[in-house]
Structure 1
Amino acid sequence: MGNNYTPRTPFQPHPIVRSASAQTVLAMVRPKGIDLMRDEQLVLLDAGPDYTGVEPGRTVRLHGYYNPSRVPGIQRGLVMILHGWEGCSHSNYNVILAQRLVEKGFATFRLNLRDHGPGLHLNPYTLNKGIFRGTLIEETAAATAQVASMAGKSPFYIVGASMGGNFALRLAKWHSEQEPFHNLVKVVAVCPAINPARATDALDRNPATRRYFRTRWLRSLRAKHAFFPELLDVEKLERIPLVRDMTECFIGQLAARGEVSFRSADEYFAAYAVLGDALTTLTVRTTILTAKNDPVIPVSDFYELAPHPLLDVQIHSTGGHCGFVDAPPVRHRMADLILPELLNA
């Protein structure tokens, strides 16, 4: 295996939905028949010590939702699914993928990162005092270790999309360099944000994506501020039109409180980027699935990843950002791309 960039299962949608905007928008359409929530189980996880600097000595708590295999007598393994920035366990692509997986004999666990979640059974903003940031890999790894143990003797897989794909790749590094996860056999990252700085600039250039992410981030920060007003000057952030400049201000406020040592947004972005030779220490098979026309994740960075026998980078001609949708009628195909990666692991 190596970086030949050729998709195992080429995604070839109808010409009328091949554009980046069509793919990205259609990804938000939820199909009929999604009933994953009827047998999901809320799980609260001990995610180890707090690395935000806000609550030293206190254990971080993260939560997620478990669904068992729906195929009697078949347990192909446990798949942990990671959402993107300002998404959650109940985001469209998460529940569509999870439902497809449980119908194929996999159990799934949809983990929510800090300050993310649907708010159905608990308030995600009150679980921990410190504010989410992309560098908090330690607590995610601690939660992942607990999820992996739930697989028992079965294989364990990690699948992440967008920022969740970034976390998935860093968890593959953690498994390879720090502490192995129980029975981990495959990691799949879909449209991963491997270069957060360039991704932020890309979403800022597009008024629609800038408005979408800026609105959701501000909503999240306001919700956090309602419980912990001393952490952040949200009103100052509300006056800033660009997400990059908001991030600069956000990091500056955290640095002033002694919570981070980053001197700029670029230093912060670089701290959780997955670029160049970042994946040359892999000990677990890892696949990246992305699209040339992703409006948020520039494709050029994937060509610059150093090759590795366990790394497979598949670049589709279209798919938008976490889209991979065909129409008419609307048919979500992301699971069709991911399933072969798990079944052939």
Structure 2
Amino acid sequence: MTGADDAAAFVPRAPWWGGDLQTLRNLLAGIRPDLSPWPAERIFVRLPDGDRLPVLLHQGEGAGRPTVVVIHGLTGCEDSTYVKATARWFLVRGWPVLRVNLRGAGPAGPLCRLGAYHAGRSEDLRALFAVLRWQRPELVARGVLPVGFSLGGNMLLKFLAENDFPVAVLAAAAVSAPLDLAAAQACLMLPRNAAYQRYILHHMRRELQASAQEAPAAVRRRALAAGTVRAFDELWTAPRSGFADAEAYYRACSAGPLLPEIRVPTLAIHAADDPWIPIEAYRAVDWAGNPALTPLLPASGGHVGFHAADRPEPWHDRMIEAFFLERAGLEGRLRRPAA
């Protein structure tokens, strides 16, 4: 089902041509996915060290479905447009959906004193699933289908490669994941990406200012004064997470070298014209060497864009659901929700 033919079938929607417009379309068009038809239940997941993750559960209307777990990217949260769009796509079709706030993100900021998420903090995903197994066993009894975006996609791929799952992971998908973190940072430093750099850094500063993380005031001030994302990682992310420097953080947490270890059916979606994350890291992967991996690498789509000409919902959401139905062995076994 999912492969070169599907990638070639992606046609950008006018007038959102090229990687930059695909990336910026949600922002420029003011897209606000409506989830009001599916009331959400707030669940607080206590991690082993005492920090808490607030997550949102939407119950689907289809019977016997595993839970789709949506994981945001850098400076994202449960309310990110792409997170809500993916949630809506699956909810319309009857799937239960869990929108996750990673450690220190969005509403998790005041609840996490001991640290924050980063590209390799896969132990928090493991802890999340372990806690849900006893706190809300009905949510994971039929297995989970995690979807990770950008930095959250890299974290998810690392988690999958470690093959230590507290619950059944039936299949997974990563969209626009930075398989080589150092290369992604080098790309972000290019002059053409100066506006992106300022945007991301602005939101990283806001996230830190809203955080309850315990740190000396001078350390916080230096991080907030960082002029680039890499400098922020050097001054804050890396040392706060136990890495010697930003380079050590990028080297230890990049998912690319770990892909051969993944055994769960996994879909990797990435656009060749992503302005933030170079396609070269994807082209360097021996996809044929691991039958669990399915790459979907269209020529266009931008960064977490994939706005197609044929219908308004993001193309990647359609590809992910089709992949889950096929590779998780669910096609033909699920009752559709009532119209």
TM range (shorter): 0.7 to 0.9
Aligned 1:35-114 pairs, distance under 5 A: 35-36=35-36, 39-48=39-48, 58-71=49-62, 74-114=63-103
2:20 match: 21
> For 1:240, what is the secondary structure of its paired residue?
coil
Aligned partner (choices 267, 274, 280) of residue 287 of structure 1:
267
Q: Contact 1:294–1:321 (CA<8 Å) still a contact in 2? A: yes
TM-superposition CA deviations, 1:278-334 (whole Å, max 9, x none): 122222111101100011111111121233011111101111000011369965333
Higher strand share: 1
How far apart are the structure 2 equivalents of 1:79 and 1:331? 17
How far apart are the structure 2 equivalents of 1:317 and 1:22? 14
1:167 is the counterpart of 2:155: yes
Aligned partner (choices 105, 108, 111) of residue 116 of structure 1:
105
> For 1:62, what is the secondary structure of its paired residue?
strand
TM-superposition CA deviations, 1:35-85 (whole Å, max 9, x none): 24851111111222xxxxxxxxx33321211001134xx342211110001
* Structure 1 residue 267, shift from structure 2 partner: 0.6
> For 2:221, what is the secondary structure of its paired residue?
helix
1:54 match: none
2:205 match: 218
> For 2:295, what is the secondary structure of its paired residue?
strand
How far apart are the structure 2 equivalents of 1:330 and 1:7? 17
Q: Contact 1:191–1:289 (CA<8 Å) still a contact in 2? A: yes
> For 2:69, what is the secondary structure of its paired residue?
strand
1:269 match: 250
How far apart are the structure 1 equivalents of 2:74 and 2:37? 22
What is the TM-score when the length of structure 1 is the normalising length?
A: 0.83
**5+ long unaligned stretches in structure 2:** 328-339
Identity of aligned residues (%): 22
* Structure 1 residue 250, shift from structure 2 partner: 2.2
How far apart are the structure 2 equivalents of 1:331 and 1:70? 20
27-36 or 16-25, which moves further after superposition?
Answer: 27-36
* Structure 1 residue 229, shift from structure 2 partner: 5.2
Q: Contact 1:47–1:140 (CA<8 Å) still a contact in 2? A: no
How far apart are the structure 2 equivalents of 1:109 and 1:265? 31
2:318 match: 336
Higher helix share: 2
1:145 is the counterpart of 2:145: no
